[in-house]
Amino acid sequence: MAWYIYLAVLAAGFGAGFINTLAGSGSLITLPLLIFLGIPATVANGTNRVGVLFQNIVSVSSFQRQKMLDVRGGLILSAPAIVGSVIGAQIAVDLDEARMRQAIGVLMVVMLVVILLRPKRWLQGELEKMGKRPSLIQLIIFFFIGMYGGFLQAGVGIFLLAGLVLSIGYDLVRANAVKVLIVLAFTISALIIFVLNDQVDWGIGLLLAVGNSLGAWAAARMAVERGANFVRWLLIAVVAVSAANLLGVFSWIGQLFN
């Protein structure tokens, strides 16, 4: 590959790691790049998990050092997400991706409205909920989020944040810390499935991991320093752009100018 391709992979990894740590949908940067480089979509999906794995190792370590991570809560919620991710990774080749992208786009629009209309709930959380054990309904929610994460990864951070804030009661900064622990847990199980099916390009994956890790380190520090309000506005921007992309808005605009 030309030298600038390596730089592009590093840059994409940095952007994805940064966005994934503070919000989600960073894989919407890396997956199209990997496919553009000629990597088959299934292999790109598996290769992307290498960067996500290392990114979340860095994020978890950083949040833990800054005393923002609820390890116990994260591990409890990781259990159903891991089970879901294994199932999602195994059925990744059997689902209609186009229709799923549209459904996810609609869900993100709904979430965007909730974030805008109920800012205090995202900024302050609901502390009375946090000490309680997760209910069966909450565990089922995280099972399905894990299943989606095992299938595609892109956008899973946003759904995890919604579950952690609206269902569990974390504020956005602590929710981000727990989110990266959950993603780390189910990424390991999903990556094993892709490795066993020979759907990982390790050379590109490890290069991507360097960029993802640097982006995750910068984002974890910024999340704690800037606080929940900064994270909320970044989340709003990411959800809006992701929803527009998944619903084909950018493609429609491009056709208008052709």
Check residue 214 and give its pLDDT.
95
Q: Which helix (H) or strand (E) holds 144?
A: helix 136-151
| Residue keyed to tokens 């990781």 | 78
| Residue keyed to tokens 């390009």 | 201
- Decide: residue 85, CB within 10 A, 0-12 exposed, 13-18 middle, 19+ buried: buried
Condensed to tens digits (0 to 9), the pLDDT of residues 214-246 reads: 999 998 888 777 776 777 777 778 778 777 876
Cβ atoms of residues 70 and 178 within 8 Å:
yes
Rounded to whole angstroms, the Cα distance separating 46 from 194 reads: 5
Condensed to tens digits (0 to 9), the pLDDT of residues 37-90 reads: 888 877 888 899 999 999 999 999 999 998 888 999 999 999 999 999 888 888
Check residue 28 and give its pLDDT.
77
Sequential DSSP letters for 87-129? HHHHTTTTS-HHHHHHHHHHHHHHHHHHHHH-HHHHHH--HHH
Residue 91 pLDDT greater than 60, yes or no: yes
Rounded to whole angstroms, the Cα distance separating 166 from 186 reads: 21
Condensed to tens digits (0 to 9), the pLDDT of residues 130-162 reads: 556 788 898 999 999 988 888 777 678 888 888
Instruction: Write down the pTM of the prediction.
Output: 0.78
Structural domain spans, the chain: 3-256
